[in-house]
Structure 1
């Protein structure tokens, strides 16, 4: 699915993560303002009834999105943000850096110079962007980031749980359809520290099945569809019989293409990925192919939520300090409801039960307590 154009202003200034790319950061060193919370902290559940405080002054009711690149996952964030902005009467602006870290810094600085009241960032390079984000928060603005600090509201996924949900689906399939035996390929991203728990969960789960052999455990280079194709093509030369492939959707889709090119793709295989990429969803919907599951981290839904909280901040309300994107396994049995939710994230946010299936919120912060912004690599699994 290609997400509909927002119809909102697009900034081309000076010209989140793979599904959540290499996003790691240490707390910023600059001390022009408060350093925020730099010590790893467990936050209490978010209290939506927390007392309101002052709205920021001197800032415009504009929501800006500093987007790292145009992959489908980030298009979903853009879609959700634009819908929330429209629903809350905010002007929406998007700046795409095309994986250029210096360009993103310039774009965020332009947001600040324009007194944009709320900024959402999927950093290309968290370390180089952190000071600019701190400046916006010191000015009283709302900042939400997709994974790395610093942020007023930091968004992350429970990474071990994400890998476990996919692994549990694969294990059930191996037991139910493959007699407990399988040759498995893991296409990893262990070089990205915050993603490594996904693959630890895979190894932990698969190690409990004596009939499973992990024939390859490797990080494609690059970590994209082309890298997945090249890596899988090499693996097949040494291990032509593969039953299960696990990894991020983009590399597993490349592996599927390699299996098809080699005449090795079979309906009884289990290919599963993470991110709920539209191409993976389309492959699952076919129902008779090897692609059996994808773990959804629904970007339109969380994009809509952080856009709503941006508007709340500008209205002087209390918002969460951190938010989990909860993983769920997409299969042919539940994919219709998922696609409905992608198209209308506002309806999901308005329905507490549906929203809570996707998101979990922690802590409280508002303009008056903005010195308590998150400035450490937060995870609910810490």
Structure 2
């Protein structure tokens, strides 16, 4: 809010990229270019609900609890679950966006004998950690599907290896180019929407090659 206020007072156009300020209503001259994190969680859960045949137990590995992305991605999962009364969340804890924490949480749940059929992680790093813990516990690849979010090279490689069942792609190139376009419009005084949303996309194993092109 402080940055927004300073930009408005100085009459300098401001474009937020890949984040939405806490103030939901943005003043004139301030724009956010981002992806709607609720949509990412919805894509994850719809994919898994189909894979599980509409029934089973899931665990959620959340990001940093202080961040909007964590809240919204998890909220997206829970919105979809309203349509699937046969699927229950049996555990949800923060893995703080890291691979190690994702691995530790999953190991702890396995040791505690918590029954779960799938893992949803708020990002790929935690998802990869979870998959590593499953492997260490002697689970075969894909026995307990794991899904993440980001679709960066590490995540794509993990899908190829069969560690992750799917991920959700957040398009950094599209966000960047739209941010530049909107900044130029603001400078010229042209009208712009205060919020520009770049859609997330589900990545399944058969589409990995397509998404790898974003990083070539």
**TM value normalised by structure 2:** 0.80
State the alpha-carbon separation in 1 of the partners of residues 215 and 153 from structure 2.
12
State the alpha-carbon separation in 2 of the partners of residues 258 and 161 from structure 1.
27
Match of 1:187 in 2: 61
Match of 1:355 in 2: none
- What residue ranges of structure 2 are gaps of 5+ in the alignment? none
State the alpha-carbon separation in 1 of the partners of residues 171 and 140 from structure 2.
28
Q: What is the alpha-carbon root mean square deviation over aligned residues?
A: 2.7
- The offset of 1:172, in angstroms, is 0.9
State the alpha-carbon separation in 2 of the partners of residues 243 and 164 from structure 1.
18
Q: Answer yes or no: is 1:282 the counterpart of 2:160.
A: no
Q: What's the CA shift string for 1:229-258, capped at 9, x where partnerless?
A: 111111110137643110222211211122
State the alpha-carbon separation in 2 of the partners of residues 215 and 259 from structure 1.
17
Q: What's the CA shift string for 1:332-381, capped at 9, x where partnerless?
A: 233333333x259xxxxxxxxxxxxxxxxxxxxxxxxxxxxxxxxxxxxx
Match of 2:111 in 1: 237
Cα 1:134–1:210, aligned 2, differ >3 Å: closer, same or farther? closer
- The offset of 1:314, in angstroms, is 3.1
State the alpha-carbon separation in 1 of the partners of residues 30 and 11 from structure 2.
10
State the alpha-carbon separation in 1 of the partners of residues 134 and 97 from structure 2.
18
Asked if structure 2 preserves the Cα contact closer than 8 Å seen for 1:224 and 1:251, the reply is yes
- The offset of 1:181, in angstroms, is 4.3
**TM value normalised by structure 1:** 0.48
- DSSP-derived class of the 1:334 partner: helix
State the alpha-carbon separation in 2 of the partners of residues 181 and 317 from structure 1.
50
Match of 1:260 in 2: 135
Q: What's the CA shift string for 1:48-78, capped at 9, x where partnerless?
A: xxxxxxxxxxxxxxxxxxxxxxxxxxxxxxx
State the alpha-carbon separation in 2 of the partners of residues 219 and 297 from structure 1.
21
Asked if structure 2 preserves the Cα contact closer than 8 Å seen for 1:256 and 1:265, the reply is no
- Residue 204 of structure 2: which of 326, 331, 335 is its match? 331
Mark the structure with the bigger radius of gyration: 1
